[in-house]
Structure 1
Amino acid sequence: MFTTVGNRGTMHLGLCLRVLILATLTVPIRAAQPAQETFTLTVPDGPTSTLSGSSVSLLCELSPIFNVEPMEVRWYRSSNSHSPALLYKDHKIQEAPMDPQYRGRVSLTGGMERGIVSLTLERVTLEDRGEYVCQVISKQWYEKASVFLTVNVTGSEPVLSVAEARGGGGQVNVTCSSEGWSPQPKLTWRNKDGAEIRNGQGVLNTSDSHGLVSVSNWLLYASSYSNWLACTVSLSEEVKREGRILPHIYTAPTAVPGVSKEAFIVTLILLVLSLVIICALCSVILWKRRGSMWSSSQKSRNRSDQTELGQRPAETENLIEGAENTVQTPTEQRAAGKDVNLEDWHQVKRFKENIILDEKTAHPAIRVTQGKQRAQYVKEKDTEKSSRTHLHVFSKESFSSGQHYWEVKVKDSSTEKLSWYVGVARENVERRPTVPLTPQNGFWILSYDKEKGFHVSTDPQPPITVAELTIVGVFLDCYRHTLSFYHVDTESLLYTFTDVKTSNYFPLLSPGQRDKYTIRII
């Protein structure tokens, strides 16, 4: 009996020991397993597009959601992993080994505590386009994904021309061309009713050294005096440019039936030349007759004078004949186009040109957009204030000769602009903010300030009385060395700088720093 009880006790004791040992071995093994930190990255399926000069966010986030602040985040170009566009490590953005072209233009946005590590890129240029890699690294895991950025650049307005089609038949050959686009745009023909015209000819696309695309296409169309034809070049429905033309060639009618047009034109030219020669001969004969009459009259007067004064007639005749052989010549010959009345705005406007801004020369607080013809003030960062230059942007073009006119829209009807200035500067001017913007320092500008009003950059600054100004016309005359500003709304002259002398002129403009409304070249 006791043996049975003892055996049962022993069995229970052994079972308890087994359970205890198993629990002891299991607990530390589970505690030693690492926390699960595997994750994936979610990025856009297609490319991300933006306009040149604007800001863009390249989206990238973790799934499932983690707090990314203790981890490492690296954004880099697929072709340059050693110099990242942005490196976040040890709870801060690292200055090295960051690619210098992205310094001051990139940041992480979206909320790292929520697993969002999107890259925001400001003041986008055409060189920023391409593939970007988002990489997130933890102690146990890492993952990466690619985002492709495309940069849209709006090209020039289409230029249309009309030529006679081979074979005639009442048709003309209309050509449309535009340049400076990115990526490759779409070219569309439409009639005056807005209906698209299908063209069997392929569009010719060419790229320059900067990757900007030029397009051209031609179309056979029925000649018309009234039904205009439109050519549209576009990247999207919002980003497009259009040109229009009347598809007609003026030809002079043939005067004689059965005579070819070429023969008629040659005959007409010969007739005009004959009339010119006859008129010239008549003018010479008439001039000689008047000169002879004047000479005879003058000789008679001189003889009578000589008789009274006791002079010899022969000597006086020699003096008169020498005067007749002297031909008066102009003191200065001006080339065509140089004689421009600065008071007449309509004469000046004939020299209008398309000015493009150079965003590489822009102050860090200026954003250049809309085909590099619009400038806007954006808030400066504290790190940039210590090395600030004057707040303006130069044009890509420079002028050393000729006459040039451009217009700047400084105010919209719905907004109130608080400050701005426009004008020209000489090459290699001093750009420190302590240097005044005066002609002595190579700046000739028209400025506006809400409190001071309109004034020019002379010392002292004479005020210019203008009630309201929306568009400023700027006319640079390199022949006269003058710079004139015009009130385009009233077609009147505001002010003219004289003695504007330098070897190279650069147009410039500033949107001011008191508001964020844009000014633009039109």
Structure 2
Amino acid sequence: MGSRFQYAMTLHIIIFLQIAQLVTGQFKIIPPDNPVIGVIGKGVILPCQLEAKTTPERLFVQWIFTGKSQRIDVTTYDGKNKQNPISEDKAYQGRTNFFQTEFNKGNVSLHLKNVMLSDEGKYTCSIFLENWYDEVVVDLNVAAKGDETSIFLDGHVGQGIGLTCKSQGWFPEPEVVWLDSKGQTRKEKVITQRTKTSSGIFDVVTSMNLEPGSDKEVSCRIVNNLLNTACESRVLISGE
């Protein structure tokens, strides 16, 4: 009796494992290769791709945000609820979209509109099916390219000429470079202030003195290394 019971239990476990392997093999989430970069004020797509031969209609997808000190259930899609399948947290009200017409292709990515600085963090895409569950984490880095730079002449400073370059609206803290006519970094002393505003972005004011006999073509370049983009202004100081 005992051996028959053990045999039945062993057979049950084997069948259960085979079913689990079959279900597991049917579905797979493809993880993103790199962090996603979202530009403040614009939209961004948080990728989540389900690899499957067929995608069940009763799909349940949940996106969860984890920041420095909070966790938010951003939005969910419940395929069992035909009348109102989507629910959205108040903090993201009107800012998220699923690509529902592409669910049959396994695309459960999230379109996040009007990116804010507070959106930076980790987003977990969780997919629930009847006998299967998995999740993937998408890192969202937030960035902003500031306004065009402007160079102002401050007048004479000693025997030289003072120059100031300004720009607003950068994130993260940008790099500042003063260049000569050959595109080389200038040797003059530079004073730069990066001021963090109440919204968390940075305004930049940078100054230098152009000494007599120096290359009179001056460029101010402000660089966002995360976006790999820059703003630059150039002036040519003529005369003595």
Matched, 1:78 2:63: no
The answer for the alignment partner of 1:133 in structure 2 is: 124
Residue among 172, 177, 186 paired with 1:188 = 177
Could you list the runs of 5+ residues in structure 2 that have no partner in the other structure? none
**Partner residue in 1 for 2:43:** 55
- Which of 83, 87, 97 is residue 107 of structure 1 equivalent to? 97
Equivalent residue runs for 1:301-450 within 5 Å: none
Could you tell me which residue of structure 1 aligns to residue 32 of structure 2? 44
Unmatched runs of 5 consecutive residues or more in structure 1: 1-20, 251-522
Q: Which residue of 2 aligns with 1:230?
A: 219
Aligned-CA RMSD value: 3.9
Deviations along 1:301-357, one digit per CA (max 9) or x if unpaired, are xxxxxxxxxxxxxxxxxxxxxxxxxxxxxxxxxxxxxxxxxxxxxxxxxxxxxxxxx
Q: 1:201 to 1:190 in 2, by over 3 A?
A: closer
CA pair 31-238 structure 1, distance change in 2 beyond 3 A: closer
- The one-letter amino acid paired with 1:244 is R
**Residue matched to 1:429:** none
Equivalent residue for 1:206? 195
Q: Deviation of residue 199 (structure 1)?
A: 6.3
Evaluate the alpha carbon distance shift between residue 244 and residue 107 of structure 1 in structure 2; reply closer, same or farther with a 3 A threshold.
Answer: same
Secondary structure in structure 1 of the residue aligned to 2:19? coil
For residues 44 and 173 of structure 1, do their structure 2 counterparts lie closer, same or farther at Cα, with a shift above 3 Å needed?
farther
Paired residue type of 1:152: A
Q: How far apart are the structure 2 equivalents of 1:225 and 1:191? A: 9
TM-score norm. by structure 2 comes to 0.70
Deviations 1:34-57 (A, max 9, x none): 343336543334321233333221
1:152 Cα offset (Å): 3.2
What is the DSSP-based 3-state SS (H/G/I as helix, E as strand, rest coil) of the residue aligned with 1:183?
coil
- CA–CA separation in structure 2 for the residues paired with 1:179 and 1:89: 43
Give the structure 1 partner of residue 234 of structure 2.
Answer: 244
CA drift of 1:244 comes to 2.9
- Partner residue of 2:151? 160
Partner of residue 34, structure 1: 19
Counting matched residue pairs gives 223
The alpha carbon displacement at 1:141 in A equals 4.2
Shift of residue 191, structure 1, vs aligned partner: 2.2
CA displacement 1:124-177 (0-9 Å, x = unmatched): 344433332212233444333322223333323324343544xx4x54443323
Secondary structure in structure 1 of the residue aligned to 2:104: helix
The one-letter amino acid paired with 2:114 is R
Find the counterpart in structure 2 of residue 452 from structure 1. Answer: none
Query: Can you list the C-alpha shifts for 1:203-239, whole angstroms capped at 9, x where unaligned?
Result: 4322111111122333343347993311122326884
Measure the CA separation in 1 of the matches of 2:94 and 2:186.
48
Structure with greater contact order relative to length (CA < 8 Å, sep ≥ 6): 2
Q: Is the 8 A contact 1:68 1:115 kept in 2?
A: no
**Structure number, greater radius of gyration:** 1
**CA deviation after TM superposition for structure 1 residue 91, in Å:** 4.2
In the TM superposition, what whole-angstrom CA distance separates every residue of 1:419-473 from its partner, at most 9, and x where no partner exists?
xxxxxxxxxxxxxxxxxxxxxxxxxxxxxxxxxxxxxxxxxxxxxxxxxxxxxxx
Which one has a larger percent helix, Structure 1 or Structure 2? 1
Label 1:174 to 1:120 Cα distance change in 2 as closer, same or farther (>3 A): same
* Contact 2:126/2:133 (<8 A) preserved: yes
Q: What amino acid is aligned across from residue 39 of structure 2 in structure 1?
A: L
Q: Percent identity?
A: 26
Taking structure 1 as the reference length, the TM-score comes to: 0.36
